[in-house]
Structure 1
Amino acid sequence: MTRKLYYEDAYLTEFDTEVRKVDQDNSGRYYAVLEETAFYPTGGGQPHDTGSLNGLEVTDVEEIDGEIRHYLSERFPAELITIHGSVNWERRYDHMQQHNGQHIVSAVFQDRFGVPTTSFHLGKDTVTIDLDTDNLTGELLRDAEERVNKIIRNHLEIEAKWVDVEEANKYPLRKSLSVEEDVRLVIIPGVDYNGCGGTHPQSTSEVMAVKFLGWTRNKKQVRLEFACGNRVLNKLEEKHRIVTDLKQLVRRPEDELTSEVNSILLESKEKDRKITELEEQLIKYEAKQLMSNIPADGVVYRVYKHRPIKDLQSLGKAVVASGDIEYVVLVSEQEDQLQFVLAHGDAVEQNLNHIAKKIFPIIEGKGGGKPNFVQGGGKKLIEADELVTKMKQAINDCE
């Protein structure tokens, strides 16, 4: 088996070793198996390391069938025997901070509040754990966060060691062991004793800080989201940048931004309401204008340029509702499309879907609606005026 240097020294990022095997998996990805490696493979909720082998990018690391596969951006030269590995330290250390932070958070929730952790996910930007409860109060979260950060500040030594099952069971383990072979324990004295295969720092102080970001209900449990270490600083920088940009738009002190933005949103909603009322009045006026000059064939029509289909629908309904009307045809000509609305009054019994089906092939279009009101659109294969003519002809043919 490959010697796992990441267990011997989680801070090791440069190493030299020999290649044992170069191959492809079933999906065609090239990978190498080494005599020893500092690359951590995905497992236990912690993502894999990245880096390079002799300058070739390591894109993924997995432990499969007892061998640690280093997936590469391209195949190693066949004659290559000795290689140099380099682990991306920024990614590794971030994972060490997040993983150990999760141990502390889970320990506090279980020991202080009797809420165990059922799952853990270390994401790209945040960490989430599922807690076996259906609710978290603000007071509980503040208490838990304070206790977690106090443990971090206490600069407790973190020990990781391999022991047999008999010795492991002498510790107050958070979960009972389901294996019979040796197990790796991660120990934070007085805080957490856990079987864990992940990488961890030497002291809780290296976690730096933990900040809870919020929670949601998830399948009768609670999913808590948080960030640890340098991610907390990144989140602070991100929020500071947003607040700074907002202050350029809303020139108020930070403690007044929320009330000021809320006031702006209320004013905007009121303006939107008034605009909607004015648009409705305008549509009614426009409908009366169309009704003022009804052609002899009883088909009111109009062609527009770049008018939204939503406007055509509103106008069509207003025309039908405004009086005794037989048919109304409204067409909007877009850059490379034609859209239309076809409606009739209550005195007409024609199903307009039958007429629309005759029109759609002409413009390679689609649509539909109720018997008295249909809408649709398609390609601009003919001029808008010609489409109106064909729709009027289809109306006459169906009567």
Structure 2
Amino acid sequence: SVEEQANALIYAALPIHAYAVDEQTLSTIPLRRPPKVTGTIRIVEIDRYDYSACGGTHVRTTAEIGPLKITKMERRRNQTRVTFLCGMRAYRDYGEKHRLITEAATLFSNEIQQVPTLITRNLALLKEKDRALEEAQRALLTYEAQTLVAEARMLGSVRLVQHTAQGQEVTLLKTLATQLQSYAQVVALLASTEDEKVTLCFSCDPTLTTESKLNMGQLLRTVLQPHGGKGGGKADFAQGGGISPTELPAIFTAAEQSLKELLHN
């Protein structure tokens, strides 16, 4: 590999020379790239291996460069950008990475060579447990939806579900609101509180958006606006927040009153 070749040249301790040449002599030197200036040019040569037009400082032999490690290679158009470390920077980088991999091996109570395999195995187990947890949560939400519908209050011709959960994840609240949409003639006013943050989800049986002209997005915006909250969505599903938990009773009361008026009309 390129990295192995570079390190082989470094450990060969090739001498490095610097000398000046005129333009006529310059044409006989196999430069890596042509110089950007004219006249007398300073050449830095790695013992018949590499020739560069360079005015900067340089080491005396390739051995002074120390170990070289390529850390990244990126394709850019028709070229490759190479990022590398050498010398003490490469040494310190190796030391830090060795410390990290050793700590990982200690956590697994195993050899460092086994760390990648153990990480892969544990990630697979975590994904499997996540899937099992998601299935359990879906089953629990299905049961919760059934319970809420069974306990729903009649509001005119619709069944009103009003529910506040403490610390429930927003994704689970949305899933519950979506599940409640599958029940006929159900309107759901759901909220989740965590510290001072409130998330609201309003949903309804999609047929109510045409039969009774209900619009959850409009309803949510209407009840949140006086309290400085924001929200919106579609006719059968809306989400919002920006209020404090103490304002929830007023929000639910206003939403229920608006629904009564809409259903009466």
If the TM-score is normalised by the length of the shorter chain, which range does it land in? 0.7 to 0.9
Shift of 1:291: 0.6
Could you tell me whether the CA contact under 8 Å between 1:328 and 1:344 is conserved in 2?
Answer: yes
Q: Secondary structure at the match of 1:226?
A: strand
* TM-score, normalising length: structure 2: 0.88
- Superposed, 1:1-399 pairs within 5 Å as 141=1, 144-297=2-155, 298-321=159-182, 323-349=183-209, 350-380=214-244, 382-399=246-263
Shift of 1:237: 0.6
Deviations 1:89-132 (A, max 9, x none): xxxxxxxxxxxxxxxxxxxxxxxxxxxxxxxxxxxxxxxxxxxx
Could you tell me whether the CA contact under 8 Å between 1:358 and 1:394 is conserved in 2?
Answer: no
Could you tell me whether the CA contact under 8 Å between 1:363 and 1:382 is conserved in 2?
Answer: no
Q: Secondary structure at the match of 2:259?
A: helix
Deviations 1:161-207 (A, max 9, x none): 44443333332111123422443322212111112244321211101
Q: Secondary structure at the match of 2:42?
A: strand
Structure 1 unaligned regions, length at least 5:
1-140
Alignment-mate amino acid for residue 285 of structure 1: Y
Q: Secondary structure at the match of 2:217?
A: helix
Structure 2 unaligned regions, length at least 5:
none
Alignment-mate amino acid for residue 310 of structure 1: T
Deviations 1:44-78 (A, max 9, x none): xxxxxxxxxxxxxxxxxxxxxxxxxxxxxxxxxxx
Distance (Å, rounded) in 2 between the aligned partners of 1:218 and 1:371 = 48
Compare 289-298 and 377-386 and name the one that shifted more: 377-386
Could you tell me whether the CA contact under 8 Å between 2:104 and 2:112 is conserved in 1?
Answer: no
Distance (Å, rounded) in 1 between the aligned partners of 2:161 and 2:89 = 64
Distance (Å, rounded) in 2 between the aligned partners of 1:263 and 1:238 = 25
Shift of 1:220: 4.0
Shift of 1:306: 2.6
Alignment-mate amino acid for residue 369 of structure 1: G
* TM-score, normalising length: structure 1: 0.60
Deviations 1:354-399 (A, max 9, x none): 2122133233232322221110110318422222112222333444
Alignment-mate amino acid for residue 265 of structure 1: L
Could you tell me whether the CA contact under 8 Å between 2:180 and 2:204 is conserved in 1?
Answer: no
Deviations 1:290-322 (A, max 9, x none): 01112121321112223222121011111112x
Residues 1:365 and 1:292: Cα distance change in structure 2 (over 3 Å): same
Distance (Å, rounded) in 2 between the aligned partners of 1:218 and 1:398 = 61
Could you tell me whether the CA contact under 8 Å between 1:187 and 1:194 is conserved in 2?
Answer: yes
Distance (Å, rounded) in 2 between the aligned partners of 1:286 and 1:222 = 57
Compare 291-300 and 358-367 and name the one that shifted more: 358-367
Compare 358-367 and 202-211 and name the one that shifted more: 358-367
Compare 281-290 and 368-377 and name the one that shifted more: 368-377
Distance (Å, rounded) in 1 between the aligned partners of 2:247 and 2:228 = 14
Equivalent pairs counted in the alignment come to: 256
Alignment-mate amino acid for residue 352 of structure 1: M
Greater share of residues in helix: 2
Distance (Å, rounded) in 2 between the aligned partners of 1:290 and 1:213 = 57
